[in-house]
Amino acid sequence: MSTKTSAKAVRELLPSPAPIRFVDESGTAVKAPAGYAIPPDELLREAYRWMVVGRRFDTQATALTKQGRLAVYPSSRGQEACQVGGVLALRERDWLFPTYRDSVALVARGLDPVEVLTLLRGDWHCGYDPAATRVAPQCTPLATQVLHATGMAEALRRKGEDGVAMAFVGDGGTSEGDFHEALNFAAVLKAPVVFFVQNNKYAISVPLAKQSAAPALAYKGVGYGVPAEQVDGNDLVAVLSVLGAAVEHARSGRGPFLVEAHTYRMDAHTNADDAGRYRDDDEVRRWAGADPVRRLETYLRGRGLLTDDDVESARTQGETFAAGLRARMNADTEPDLLEIFDHVYAEPTPQLLEQREQLRAELNAQES
Is 265 annotated as catalytic? yes
Comparing C-alpha atoms, which of 48, 64, 55, 74 is closest to residue 114?
64
Domain segments of the chain: what residues? Answer: 7-335, 336-368
Right CATH number for 7-335 from 3.40.50.970, 3.30.1280.10, 3.40.50.10260, 3.40.50.300?
3.40.50.970
pLDDT value for 87: 98
- pTM of the shown model: 0.94
pLDDT value for 318: 98
What is the chain's mean pLDDT, rounded?
Answer: 95
pLDDT digits (tens, 9 = 90+) for 131-149: 999 999 999 999 999 999 9
Options 55, 134, 269, 295, the catalytic residue: 269
Is 334 or 71 the better-scoring residue by pLDDT?
71
Percent of the chain exceeding pLDDT 90 equals 91
pLDDT digits (tens, 9 = 90+) for 221-252: 999 999 999 999 999 999 999 999 999 999 99
CA 339 vs CA 132, 326, 334, 342: distances in Å: 21, 26, 12, 5
| CA–CA gap between residue 224 and residue 193 (Å, rounded) | 14
Options 278, 279, 294, 326, the catalytic residue: 278
| CA–CA gap between residue 246 and residue 250 (Å, rounded) | 6
Helix axes 41-66, 308-329, angle to 10 degrees: 40
Options 21, 249, 265, 295, the catalytic residue: 265
| CA–CA gap between residue 233 and residue 80 (Å, rounded) | 9
Is 278 annotated as catalytic? yes
pLDDT digits (tens, 9 = 90+) for 57-109: 999 999 999 999 999 999 999 999 999 999 999 999 999 999 999 999 999 99
pLDDT digits (tens, 9 = 90+) for 273-282: 999 999 999 9
